[in-house]
A and B are shown apart, each in its own frame.
Chain A
Amino acid sequence: MSKDLITIKGGKDGFRLLVDSSASMEQIEAEIKKKLEANPGFFPEGTKFELEVADLDRSVKKGIDQLLSQHGLGIEKSGKKAQPRYTGARENHPRPVAQEQPVVQEMMVINHTIRGGEEISSKSSVLICGNVNPGAQIIAGGSIDIRGTCRGTVHAGAWGDTNAVIIADRLMPTQIRIANLIARSPDNMEKNDFAERAYIKDGKIIIEPIER
């Protein structure tokens, strides 16, 4: 079973019970029992669930109701009414939020060393607390910050963001790519003991030391 047949979600207006319409009554019954018995006492007596399902057989619905009532729970009768109320809330919400708050940039944080053969790919920026070893590849839509030594291949702004930067405590990558530009390491790499930043300036990748 790849997907849960039964999902219980907590919402502002109470709990919602999501049922896969392809499931049989026996399966549903077993799943609900399992969920309820896994956390006895989690749902206070009298809790009502909103039933959410595409087209549920009436007998199945009745079965679920009976099962829940055995545990002192029940189904919210106004299941159908709740549906539009919920989608309505979803429509109204995002707009004011987007207007009030500045654009939130996401960042992927990785707290270990990326070893050879591993690939990290993210549409957002990437922060790595560890080393990036030779043979490893980091691909980020935004910038890349490595709190350690970078010896692998790093690609910032992989979807075209030319403002992306790459920062590392010790920057000695095999290859550095920002947006659509590529630079490779010199054949005789020096070992630096200061942090550096790579960015695009006048159509070229520039690497400069930074304080941090």
Chain B
Amino acid sequence: MSEVIVVTSGKGGVGKSTTTANLGVGLAMRGQKVVLIDTDTGLRNLDLLLGLENRIMYDLVDVIEGRVEIRKALVRHKKYENLQLLPTSQVKDKSAVNPADLMALCDELRKEYDYVIIDCPAGIEQGFKTAIAGADTAIVVTMPEVSAVRDADKIIGELGRSEKDNIKLIINRIRPAMVSSGEMMDMDDINDILAIKCIGQVPDDIKVVTSANRGEPVVGDNDSEAGRAYANIVGRIMGEDIPFLEFEKQGFFTKLKKAFGILGGEK
């Protein structure tokens, strides 16, 4: 059964696009048919993270306005045949796409793909409302920082008002050493405030930046902590029957890491 997932956060810079790219590649590596939709019209960059910029011919706005078929606008990933990207326009703005259009598009893509993942723009305005319209599941990305958690809380409220009840949380860019020294918010604090199901805790990792610059998401990289964390999230999304336990287990690992923070955390 196919699933339409929107990756959102409210605040910018917490890693929505990075998460979208990694989940997309991760799911494709596991043999799923995946299409990623960039809805950040005017500020597109999901194509950059996937290293596909030079292959773009048409975009989301062309499809919505009926100039081309969806099939023609999809860009296939160079390494994973199962992964397609529907980029958006860099010249138009958010008003070029409305919620009903995107909902129809998702329903169309749902027939052919196992996962449709929508990269949502920052903010809670029209772009956000458009991005969430067709989604079954929302993944809220946040990071251990008061402003990011506050915005995530607001976004969860907004999703609730739009009757999106299946909401999951990814805590991104964690610095275990800072958490253990009390300089960064604790995972328990965040879960306590947001009170939604957490499906992943991703450590801050320089490999995320270097791999983004190369256009190769970190998820395939076993030497990277973030890469392994993303691979775990992919497993949980595919319903590997341990979501909550897995998180507890991971929480335990994080705590272990915290305990060895002095050894492992310093670079």
Report which A residues bind B (CB closer than 8 A): 112-113, 115-118, 131, 133-135, 149, 151
In the complex, whether B197 has a CB less than 8 A from a CB of chain A is no
In the complex, chain B residues 130-178 whose Cβ is within 8 Å of any chain A Cβ:
150-151, 153-154, 156-157, 160
B263 to chain A, nearest CB (A): 29
Residues of B within 8 A of A116 (CB): 150-151, 153-154, 157
Closest to A115 in B: B157
Q: State which of B154, B192, B193, B195 has its C-beta within 8 Å of the C-beta of A117.
A: B154
Kindly state the interface size class of chain B when it binds its partner. Answer: 10 to 19
> How close is A127's CB to chain B, nearest CB, in angstroms?
19
Contacts of B150 in A (CB 8 A): 116, 134-135
- Closest Cβ of chain A to B151, distance in Å, is 8
Q: Which residues of chain B from 189 to 203 have any CB-CB distance to chain A below 8 Å in the complex?
A: 192-193, 195
Max count, chain B CB within 10 A of own CB: residue among A116, A134, A135? A116
Contact check: which of A115, A134, A151 meets B156 at CB < 8 Å? A115
Which residues of chain B have a CB within 8 Å of any CB of chain A?
Answer: 150-151, 153-154, 156-157, 160, 192-193, 195
| Interface residue SS majority, chain A | loop
Of chain B, the residue at the smallest CB distance from A135 is B150
Q: Which residue of B lies closest to A131 (CB)?
A: B195
Give the chain A neighbours of B151 by CB distance below 8 A.
Answer: 116
Chain A hits for B193, CB < 8 A: 131, 133-134, 151
Which residues of chain B have C-beta atoms less than 8 A from A133's C-beta? 153, 193
CB contacts between A and B, total, < 8 Å: 28
11 extra interface residue pairs, beta carbon distance < 8 Å, beyond A115-B160, A117-B154, A149-B192? A112-B160, A113-B195, A115-B153, A116-B151, A116-B157, A118-B157, A131-B193, A134-B153, A135-B150, A135-B153, A151-B193
- B residues in contact with A113, CB < 8 Å: 195
User: Which DSSP category, helix, strand, loop or mixed, fits chain B's interface?
Assistant: helix
Q: In the complex, what distance in Å separates the CA atom of A149 from the CA atom of B188?
A: 14
Residues of B contacting A118 in the complex (Cβ-Cβ under 8 angstroms) = 157
Closest A-B pairs by Cβ, 10 of them: A115-B157, A116-B153, A117-B154, A116-B154, A115-B153, A133-B153, A116-B150, A118-B157, A135-B150, A133-B193
Q: How far is the CA of A117 from the CA of B156 in the complex (A)?
A: 11
Please name all residues of chain A whose beta carbon is closer than 8 Å to the beta carbon of B192 when the two chains form the complex.
Answer: 149
CA distance A181 to B74 in the complex (A): 60
Cα separation A133 to B151 with both chains bound (whole Å): 11
A23 to B30, CA, bound (A): 62
User: Which residues from chain A contact B157 at a C-beta distance below 8 Å?
Assistant: 115-118
Which residues of the other chain, B, contact A115 by a CB distance below 8 angstroms? Answer: 153-154, 156-157, 160
A-B contact pairs, 6 of them (CB 8 A): A113-B195, A115-B157, A115-B160, A116-B151, A118-B157, A131-B193
Q: How far is the CA of A117 from the CA of B160 in the complex (A)?
A: 13
The smallest C-beta distance from A158 to any residue of chain B, in angstroms, reads 22
- A151's nearest neighbour on chain B, judged by CB, is B193
Interface centre among B150, B153, B193, B195 (most CB of A within 10 A): B153
Complex Cα gap A149–B195 (Å): 12
Give A117 to B154 CA distance when docked, in angstroms: 6
Q: Bound state CA distance, A58 and B156, in angstroms?
A: 55
| Cβ contacts under 8 Å, B154 to chain A | 115-117, 135
Bound complex: CA A113 to CA B153 (Å): 10
CA distance A149 to B151 in the complex (A): 19
CA distance A158 to B4 in the complex (A): 44
Which chain A residue lies CB-closest to B157? A115
Report how far A133 CA is from B146 CA in the complex, Å: 12
Instruction: Give the distance in Å from the alpha carbon of A151 to the alpha carbon of B193 in the complex.
Output: 9
A117 contact set on B, CB distance < 8 A: 153-154, 157
State the CA gap A22–B154 with chains docked (Å).
43
Residues of A within 8 A of B160 (CB): 112, 115
Residues of chain A within 8 A (CB-CB) of B156 are 115
The distance in angstroms between the C-alpha atoms of A118 and B154, with both chains bound, is 8
A29 to chain B, nearest CB (A): 33
Q: Which residue of B lies closest to A130 (CB)?
A: B195
Q: Which of A112, A115, A116, A149 has the most CB of B within 10 A?
A: A115
Contacts of A112 in B (CB 8 A): 160
Which residues from B are CB-within-8-Å of A151? 193
